[in-house]
Structure 1
Amino acid sequence: MKRRMFTSLRSFIPWSLAVLILNAGLSWAGFTPPKNLSRPGNREGAATRGICKVQTAANEPDLTTLVPASNIGLTAANRPTFYWYLPANNYQALEFALFQTLANGTQVQIYKQQFPMANRPRLDSITLAGDVPPLQEGVDYRWTVSLICNASDPDPSQIRFVEGWVQRVALPETLEQQLRQASYLQRYDLLASNGLWYDALDTLIKLRQKQPNDGKIQALWTELMTAQEVALPQLGNLAIAQSSRSNGR
């Protein structure tokens, strides 16, 4: 059976040319999101009432979901990893939730997990575990991160809240073949240039963790965060290797 292709992908460059370009280190295609795909949302936190606050230094972002400027990103994974920036704060708990959009537009919560705030990294993340229903292709999912001031009294006026969207798409066979032959750097470039935001982001962060002193990888991070399609310049100088860890859930 022929696999369904998603039309928003950019045309593929010849693989032999891509290898030459990437190995030479001459050019990076950069992140190329699908056209005419956007969702409403608030990816950056706002001030709340009450005693709980975030403590941000000059030019440091607030609580922020790592999604493109369109508020939605694509993935080929059925259980992707979600990332957000978490500034210093005095909130008690962090809550992640995932909602599936039904055909009639209704959103149904399919997963929620609350974590204590202690010792969480600046670049925080969660990977959907095996007991979470896998993402369906072509379906919109909204994910949220909430900072809760008092876990025993979740007053909405004291909850700091951000969100993003994700949609799973089928991986074209041509791209799948290219990825199997690619190095980590080549893999990142292929994923980013074909609009697979969540997969490219996760690849770049893990690559930086493996090679924390590689200036080229840090430069790619800065390029990604400051790109017009992403527009998160305050995260461009984040030392991603030292600021992140995998929490598994």
Structure 2
Amino acid sequence: MTSLYSRSLSRMLAIVVGLSVALPAGLAGANFTPPSNLGRPGNREGAATRGACKVQASETEPDLTAIVPVSNIGLTTATRPTLYWYLPSNNYQEIQFSLYQTKEDNTEALIYDTQLPLAGRPRLDSLTLDGKVAPLIEGVDYRWVVSLICNPNDPDPSQVRYVEGWVRRVTASPGLSESLKAATPLQQFEILAENGLWYDALTTLVEFQQKQPTSSEAAAKWSELMNAQSVRLNRLSQQPQATGG
């Protein structure tokens, strides 16, 4: 599986376009508004563990955090989206990424699992699903888990710090696709955000931030997004910079 190191993210506005699933009316400023009937139980922020490995978080720096809305689930039109998390200073040895598919009887099946070294990874980290993972099925919920492993040779779960989020693939309407073709990158972000497409919007902003790393507009939108009522990742309101690669 190929990992994609996030270089940095950005923020939000609004424009209206149709999507082939029922989505609510859009954004106020950067207030991302997901569908009201969309939600999953989750664990967006890592909890303390016992043992030798620690996270050097503080009141201003967040813990290990899955970058998903309060609802814990985000929509995408991508068959293999990019998933994002914040990685604080720590002395763990390894990242484990796991992807589970929800079945019709609400049980889960592990469909992908990989281990990645922690050395050199950026604060704003991510992983793009690649050809080793089957394309996401429309309308099916997938749970993704990022775990910090203290000692790969020690299976003690009390020393594992983890976060999780959910992703569901939907189909974009022809009108949405046409609007995106005619839009600038920031306009594309606004359109995607307005239509509740969380992962698509974040990926668009990451790519914009790569090309415009000093954009004050992008930095302001990121802060607004993280502080939005439907997101509430306030400790990420100061945009982290990628330090690894």
Equivalent residue, structure 1, for 2:100: 99
Equivalent residue, structure 1, for 2:22: 7
CA distance in 1, matches of 2:244, 2:134: 23
CA distance in 2, matches of 1:79, 1:169: 12
Shift of 1:32: 1.9
Q: Give the alignment's TM-score, normalised by structure 1.
A: 0.87
CA contact (8 A) 1:124 1:244 kept: no
Equivalent residue, structure 2, for 1:76: 77
CA contact (8 A) 1:143 1:165 kept: yes
Letter in 1 for 2:200: D
Equivalent residue, structure 2, for 1:205: 206
Aligned runs of 1:102-141 on 2, under 5 Å? 102-141=103-142
CA distance in 2, matches of 1:195, 1:245: 30
Shift of 1:98: 0.5
Shift of 1:64: 0.3
CA distance in 1, matches of 2:148, 2:239: 21
Pair member with larger Rg: 1
Count of aligned residue pairs for this structure pair: 227
Equivalent residue, structure 2, for 1:41: 42
Equivalent residue, structure 1, for 2:231: 230
In structure 2, stretches of 5+ residues that fail to align are 1-18
Please provide the CA RMSD for this pair: 1.8
CA contact (8 A) 1:99 1:143 kept: yes
> In the alignment, does 2:199 pair up with 1:189?
no
SS in 2 for 1:243: coil
SS in 1 for 2:32: coil
Percent of residue pairs bearing the same amino acid type: 57
Provide, for residues 6-62 of structure 1, a one-character-per-residue CA deviation record: whole Å limited to 9, x for no partner: 112547x9xxxxxxxxxxxxx846422111211001110000011110001332110
SS in 1 for 2:60: coil
Aligned runs of 1:17-32 on 2, under 5 Å? 28=29, 30-32=31-33
| Distance of aligned partners of 1:90 and 1:227 in 2 relative to their CA distance in 1, 3 Å threshold | same
Equivalent residue, structure 1, for 2:6: none
Equivalent residue, structure 1, for 2:160: 159
| Distance of aligned partners of 1:179 and 1:133 in 2 relative to their CA distance in 1, 3 Å threshold | same
CA distance in 2, matches of 1:150, 1:48: 13
Extract structure 1 runs of 4+ deviating beyond 2 A. Answer: 8-11, 27-30
Shift of 1:245: 6.9
SS in 2 for 1:125: strand
In structure 1, stretches of 5+ residues that fail to align are 14-26
Provide, for residues 162-220 of structure 1, a one-character-per-residue CA deviation record: whole Å limited to 9, x for no partner: 10001000011111110011100000000001000000011112211210111001111
Equivalent residue, structure 2, for 1:57: 58
Q: Bigger relative contact order, structure 1 or 2, given CA contacts below 8 A and separation 6+?
A: 2
